[in-house]
Amino acid sequence: MTDFNYQEIDDVIHSRIRTAIMAVLISVDEAEFTFIREKINATDGNLSAHLKKLEDHNYISVKKEFIERKPVTRYKITETGIKAFEDYIKKLESIIRK
């Protein structure tokens, strides 16, 4: 067992759903709400709340539009989000290495 600083863990990403959302969005160019929901098996309300949190921290950007009169919401990871996710992965790797 070794020392570890919990303050270094990014709380915004450190949640199962938000980590999964970030993993999906970092792998694609952009994705619709329904696609993310299918990928991570979350309910609409739960997913919306987590997406909002990531959006508030500027980790993801949102684009809303109407296609054939139906509302479509697309999400894309931002540069800040990419950096934060990479740091988060490094942190997890460092836990394993210790």
| Tokens of residue 11, six digits | 């709380």
- Rounded CA gap, 92 and 72, in Å? 34
Out of 12, 17, 31, 51, name the contact with another protein by CB under 8 A: 31
Residue 95 as a binder of another protein (CB under 8 A): the answer is yes
Per CB under 8 A, 52 contacts another protein: no
Query: How distant, in Å, are the alpha carbons of 5, 6, 8 from that of 1?
Result: 13, 15, 18
If one asks whether residue 46 binds another protein (CB under 8 A), the answer comes out as no
User: For another protein, which residue of 1, 43, 45, 64 counts as binding (CB under 8 A)?
Assistant: 1
Is residue 36 a contact partner of residue 47, using CB atoms and an 8 Å limit? yes
Binds another protein (CB under 8 A): choice among 10, 26, 55, 61: 26
32 binds another protein (CB under 8 A): yes
Distance CA 2, CA 80 (A): 30
User: Taking the CA atoms of the chain, what radius of gyration do you get in angstroms?
Assistant: 15
3 binds another protein (CB under 8 A): yes
Q: Does 93 bind another protein (CB under 8 A)?
A: yes
